[in-house]
Chain A
Amino acid sequence: MLPSGIHFKNHAEELRLLRTGPQRIGFALLLLALAAFPFVANTYLIGLAITVAITVIAVAGLQVTVGMAGLLNLGQSAFVGVGAFTAAALYAHYDVPMLLAIPLAGLAAGAVSIVFSLPAIRIRGLYLALTTIAAQVVFPIVVLRLPTGWFGGSAGIGIDRVQAFGIALETPAAFYGVAVCVMIVMLLIGFNLQRSHVGLAFRAIRDNDIASSVLGVELGKYKIMAFFAGAVFAGVAGGLYAFYIRYVTTDQFTIWLSIWYLGMLIVGGLGGPLGAILGTFAVTVLQEAIHWGGNRAMGAMPQISGGIIFSVTNIVLGAAIITMLIREPHGLAHRWNVLKSAYRIWPYPRA
């Protein structure tokens, strides 16, 4: 909600992502902070930020499929994996430049998702989750059985030197720049998709698929498009991941990761890309806090092991998801918007 006194002369102005002067200043400051981050943070924090950026892209993709279109996807990490293997193979075997390999990875994941979403023409609702589980189960089986010359089989693919425009990206700080730029581009696509006619069709399907088909939304086509869009995000995230970790195997893309992605999205809120950002951020902070506390406790009590820290993280995330669904079903993003509108119209109470 905006305070009184702000008027728009036409609809296009009202639809803008950044509508007022202060919003533009705020966004510029955010970009500046993102740019300044590698100069003030240590290597560990930069590495963490790269992981967050990659995860935000994957979760934003999940937001398109699950949040916007309301199609349950339990196989997002398989699509991340397809992207990672494609990017690694293109770069290692065919010398495709990194900045071309990443979008191609997105398209490859999208293409694979079309195969798995074709049943959407007939199958509805939760039964469709089956095909995403199928994607998750089939992915490692197929990658491991393909000729080792393609994806390296069980050994995986390694990437030795990463460079873009002839500049070697040897330090985490340099790769941070690439990851954040790709994240911003993908989030822009996400925010724009939400307000495009395709995004509106997705939301119509989510709210009531029969009603939307009566209104002229072609269900099969748009459901496949929703899976495709979500998988393109996943593939781009996978491409970045391949160049960051520089080593890809099927073990990195389990159903457990898919479930964690969903958890992050629920905590952040399914309603928009902002939910993906806040959710990934919140879960990462939670995870780091538990690791930090666990490491401190490990010094005092040697019987605490890494397994205990991992299981506590799971318990906290699981409890956080359930609490959010009971107390705040619209996620952190909704809290954030409430806070924002309260601040904007202060000192008047929120309507």
Chain B
Amino acid sequence: MEPLQIAVEGTLTGLLYGLIALAFVVIFRASRIVNLAQGQLVLVGAYVMGTLLTILPLPVAIVLALAASLLIGVAIERLVFRPLIGQPVFSIVMASIGLLILLQGAVQLVWGAQTRPFAQIFPEGNWKLDALLINKRLLIGAVITLLAVEALRLFFLKTRIGLRLAAVAEDHFVALSLGVSVQASTRIAWAAGAFVSTLAAMILLSGNVLGLQAGDIGLRALPVALLGGLESLRGAVIAGVLVGVGEALAAHYLDPLTGGAMSLVFPFMLMILVLLVRPQGLFGWKVIERL
């Protein structure tokens, strides 16, 4: 394979990582909550959509699943994070670990541990562009990712509600003293986060096998979000592409020498090196702290 083909494939996979990291960033950017349960949010979205797809026509099922994801997000905010407003960031991180365990258990209880097929939503196969092969599913996913990030950016930077959310991301007490409702922001954050997670689940699983291990993708997305900077929407996507291309190149050039280890280890080496130079991530807010 030539390098260009590898780069294209890496970019497309990376954009999918970026979309999941985007869900993570959206929640942080609007509520200052670090959501370690990101993978499980994708998992819940995937199972809800997968189940609806087996009983309803495709467009209806997709719309209903996305609507359900908004409800799930709101429910999580109401039950878990609203009572924790004003608590230290650390408690909130711990609560997201509780949520991770809870959601994983709930999905297994409702749907069982056996894998099931996930209906095909996007066309399979490749488009040919000269000698390049481009995966149709991932290309459509990439377009959705780019649309999602630009739409969210407009929302966060150009609308009145979105700008309020920035105050909440800065500091809960500052936001409250400025009359910004942390509750409402957190609700928006989780609804949007769950929505983006379900979008990601759709692209990830279309025509694939759905199982409990789909939640592991969260573990790959969290480092991507940290690399991009927790506050930056475009950063999440750019970091996703970096990691995706790095992974693909490492898989092709270094894996034969290291028995398949390098493509898994390389993204972490890249991320730690970048963070050593820019500790707030590539595009994160550089916060000046005072005592």
Task: For A133, list chain B residues within 8 Å (CB).
Answer: 219, 222-223, 268
Task: For A314, list chain B residues within 8 Å (CB).
Answer: 101-102, 104-106, 108
Task: For A70, list chain B residues within 8 Å (CB).
Answer: 90
In the complex the two chains form, is B101's CB within 8 Å of A123's CB?
A: no
Most buried by B among A142, A214, A322: A322
Task: For B175, list chain A residues within 8 Å (CB).
Answer: none
Task: For B271, list chain A residues within 8 Å (CB).
Answer: 130, 134
Task: For A316, list chain B residues within 8 Å (CB).
Answer: 105
In the complex the two chains form, is A315's CB within 8 Å of B105's CB?
A: yes
Task: For B95, list chain A residues within 8 Å (CB).
Answer: 321-322, 325-326
Task: For A131, list chain B residues within 8 Å (CB).
Answer: 272
Shortest C-beta distance, B288 to chain A (Å), equals 11
Proximity string of chain B (78-93) to chain A, C-beta cutoff 8 Å, 1 when within and 0 when not: 0110011001011101
In the complex the two chains form, is B102's CB within 8 Å of A315's CB?
A: yes
Task: For A137, list chain B residues within 8 Å (CB).
Answer: 219, 264-265, 268
In the complex the two chains form, is A325's CB within 8 Å of B91's CB?
A: yes
Task: Give chain A interface residues in 311-351, CB to chain B under 8 Å.
Answer: 311-322, 325-326, 329
Given the complex of chains A and B, what is the CA–CA distance between A210 and B288 in angstroms? 11
> Is A29 at the interface (CB under 8 A from chain B)?
no
In the complex the two chains form, is A318's CB within 8 Å of B272's CB?
A: no
> Is A221 at the interface (CB under 8 A from chain B)?
no
Task: For B226, list chain A residues within 8 Å (CB).
Answer: 126-127, 129-130
> Is B132 at the interface (CB under 8 A from chain A)?
no
Proximity string of chain A (143-167) to chain B, C-beta cutoff 8 Å, 1 when within and 0 when not: 0010000000000000000000000
Q: Given A130-B226, A141-B265, verify A321-B94 contact (CB < 8 Å).
A: yes
Given the complex of chains A and B, what is the CA–CA distance between A112 and B158 in angstroms? 47
Task: For B275, list chain A residues within 8 Å (CB).
Answer: 119, 122-123, 127, 130
In the complex the two chains form, is B276's CB within 8 Å of A72's CB?
A: no
Most buried by A among B79, B102, B271: B102
Question: Which residue from B79, B109, B281, B291 sits with its C-beta under 8 Å from A312?
Answer: B109
Shortest C-beta distance, B255 to chain A (Å), equals 11
In the complex the two chains form, is A325's CB within 8 Å of B108's CB?
A: no
> Is B70 at the interface (CB under 8 A from chain A)?
no
Question: Which residue from A72, A130, A325 sits with its C-beta under 8 Å from B272?
Answer: A130
Which of A35-43, A48-56, A179-187, A258-266 faces chain B? A258-266
Question: Which residue from A141, A310, A322 sits with its C-beta under 8 Å from B98?
Answer: A322
> Is A188 at the interface (CB under 8 A from chain B)?
no
Given the complex of chains A and B, what is the CA–CA distance between A90 and B249 in angstroms? 37
Given the complex of chains A and B, what is the CA–CA distance between A217 and B163 in angstroms? 38
> Is B34 at the interface (CB under 8 A from chain A)?
yes
Given the complex of chains A and B, what is the CA–CA distance between A261 and B214 in angstroms? 22
Given the complex of chains A and B, what is the CA–CA distance between A320 and B261 in angstroms? 38
> Is A5 at the interface (CB under 8 A from chain B)?
no
> Is A17 at the interface (CB under 8 A from chain B)?
no
Given the complex of chains A and B, what is the CA–CA distance between A119 and B113 in angstroms? 38
Task: For A129, list chain B residues within 8 Å (CB).
Answer: 222, 226
Proximity string of chain A (70-81) to chain B, C-beta cutoff 8 Å, 1 when within and 0 when not: 101010000000
Shortest C-beta distance, A124 to chain B (Å), equals 6
Given the complex of chains A and B, what is the CA–CA distance between A160 and B291 in angstroms? 58
Task: For B101, list chain A residues within 8 Å (CB).
Answer: 259-260, 263, 314, 317-318, 321
Task: For B79, list chain A residues within 8 Å (CB).
Answer: 322
Given the complex of chains A and B, what is the CA–CA distance between A126 and B32 in angstroms? 12
Proximity string of chain A (294-315) to chain B, C-beta cutoff 8 Å, 1 when within and 0 when not: 0000000000000110111111
> Is A30 at the interface (CB under 8 A from chain B)?
no
Task: For B87, list chain A residues within 8 Å (CB).
Answer: 325, 329
Given the complex of chains A and B, what is the CA–CA distance between A70 and B90 in angstroms? 8
> Is A45 at the interface (CB under 8 A from chain B)?
no
Question: Which residue from B84, B107, B109, B280 sits with its C-beta under 8 Å from A308?
Answer: B109
Task: For B53, list chain A residues within 8 Å (CB).
Answer: none
Task: For A313, list chain B residues within 8 Å (CB).
Answer: 105
Proximity string of chain B (100-129) to chain A, C-beta cutoff 8 Å, 1 when within and 0 when not: 111111111100110000000000000000
Chain A's closest residue to B222 (CB) is A133
Task: For B93, list chain A residues within 8 Å (CB).
Answer: 72, 126
In the complex the two chains form, is B98's CB within 8 Å of A307's CB?
A: no
In the complex the two chains form, is A318's CB within 8 Å of B103's CB?
A: yes
Question: Which residue from B97, B106, B113 sits with its C-beta under 8 Å from A307?
Answer: B113
| A contact set with B: CB distance below 8 Å | 70, 72, 74, 119, 122-124, 126-127, 129-131, 133-134, 137-138, 141-142, 145, 208, 210-211, 214, 255, 259-260, 262-263, 266, 307-308, 310-322, 325-326, 329
Query: 13 extra interchain contacts, Cβ-Cβ under 8 A, other than A131-B272, A263-B98, A326-B83?
Result: A123-B275, A127-B275, A129-B226, A130-B222, A133-B268, A134-B223, A208-B291, A259-B101, A318-B104, A319-B98, A321-B97, A325-B84, A326-B84
